[in-house]
Structure 1
Amino acid sequence: METPKRLEQALIKLYNAFHNNELNPECCSACAVGNILDNHDSWKHLSDEHGSTELSYVGRVHQRLGRKFNGYTPLELLRIEKIFLEACGFVVPLCHYNKKPENPTHKDNLFNGLCAVVAYLCKLDNIENVMDYSKIFEFENEDPVYQFDVIYS
């Protein structure tokens, strides 16, 4: 099965942001959706609160017109961001009185967020989660189902 272009592009952007330390859940241009949308923060006008899935007036207009941003509808983008924030340890919507992780940009928090986002992105495109590594541990009659060539250096 071929990977849809929007998914492939989103995964590449999120991968690069994670490894280049350019992923920040509290910044609209550097969060999951900010990175998917080429580090633009104009998407924040799709909702009145960061982390909410309730469309603002602007968001509803774009949604009803069928507008897509790098392949994703306004509602899909808001859901992506909510999933990312919650998996990073935030209580959404983001505001001064809601719980947030002690170190929001810690790699473990960001990795948890990315795993949740990738699972959702794959679900949107009806493909298996590309980060599901459980298959490599499958076995039958005490033998591994999949064999790997291991090269030791």
Structure 2
Amino acid sequence: MKTTKRFNSAIHKLYNAFHSNTLHPECCKHCAVGNILDNTDAWKHLSDSHGSTKLNYLGQVHSSLGRQFNGYTPKELLAIEVVFLEACGYVLPLHHKNKKPKNPTDKDTLFNGLSAVVSYLCKLDNIPDVMDCNALFNYKTIHIEQLQNI
């Protein structure tokens, strides 16, 4: 399967963060986007709150100038983070009053977040979802109409 440079780079960074226990959803340098952007937190200035897809003024300026960060637009970065946080069990935007997982660095929690992010990165780059195991098992969805014919 042919993938993009940005996809390969992002997956490599996320894989390393997961296995080196440096992935943390509540830290802008160690969340999904923080890792994709080489453990920097400059991306947090694109929005007014962690877990929002709404670009603030600075985010809009970067977007209108066509800027990309490690291959991703400001809007894509915010969307990646939302996918990650929601799959980890957060109610967004991140706020101390909103629901969050009891242990945000639990491997199962992080795996759920990363699985959703990988699927989303595949969607962004128009490549088959590598997290979809249906093809691996030659699984076919049976529709109700097919069942009625049996």
With structure 2 as the length reference, what TM-score do the two structures score?
A: 0.91
Percent identity, please.
Answer: 69
- CA-atom RMSD, angstroms? 1.2
Structure 2, unmatched stretches of 5+, are: 141-150
Q: Distance in 1 between matches of 2:56 and 2:11?
A: 27
Q: Which residue of structure 2 aligns with residue 130 of structure 1?
A: 130
Q: Which residue of structure 2 aligns with residue 144 of structure 1?
A: none
Q: Which residue of structure 2 aligns with residue 148 of structure 1?
A: none
User: Aligned pair 1:96/2:96, yes or no?
Assistant: yes
User: Aligned pair 1:26/2:26, yes or no?
Assistant: yes
Q: Distance in 2 between matches of 1:129 and 1:49?
A: 29
Structure 1, unmatched stretches of 5+, are: 141-153
The DSSP-based 3-state class of the residue aligned with 2:135 is helix
1:23-81 CA distance string (max 9 Å, x none): 00000000000000000001000000000000011000001110000000000000000
Q: Which residue of structure 2 aligns with residue 108 of structure 1?
A: 108
The residue correspondences of 1:51-70 to structure 2 (distance < 5 A) are: 51-70=51-70
Q: Distance in 1 between matches of 2:136 and 2:80?
A: 27
Q: Which residue of structure 2 aligns with residue 47 of structure 1?
A: 47
CA drift at 1:132: 1.7
The residue identity in structure 1 corresponding to 2:135 is K
The DSSP-based 3-state class of the residue aligned with 2:83 is helix
Relative to structure 1, the CA distance from residue 124 to residue 38 in structure 2 (aligned partners, 3 Å threshold; closer, same or farther) is same
1:2-23 CA distance string (max 9 Å, x none): 2100000000000000010010
Q: Distance in 1 between matches of 2:136 and 2:6?
A: 27
Relative to structure 1, the CA distance from residue 139 to residue 132 in structure 2 (aligned partners, 3 Å threshold; closer, same or farther) is closer
Question: How many residue pairs end up in the alignment?
Answer: 140
Q: Which residue of structure 1 aligns with residue 14 of structure 2?
A: 14
Relative to structure 1, the CA distance from residue 137 to residue 43 in structure 2 (aligned partners, 3 Å threshold; closer, same or farther) is same
Q: Which residue of structure 2 aligns with residue 118 of structure 1?
A: 118
Q: Which residue of structure 2 aligns with residue 74 of structure 1?
A: 74
With structure 1 as the length reference, what TM-score do the two structures score?
A: 0.89
Q: Distance in 2 between matches of 1:33 and 1:49?
A: 14
> Which structure would you say has the larger RCO, counting Cα contacts within 8 Å and 6 or more residues apart?
2
Q: Distance in 1 between matches of 2:105 and 2:135?
A: 30
CA drift at 1:136: 2.0
Consecutive aligned runs of 4 or more in structure 1 exceeding 4 Å deviation: none
CA drift at 1:131: 1.8
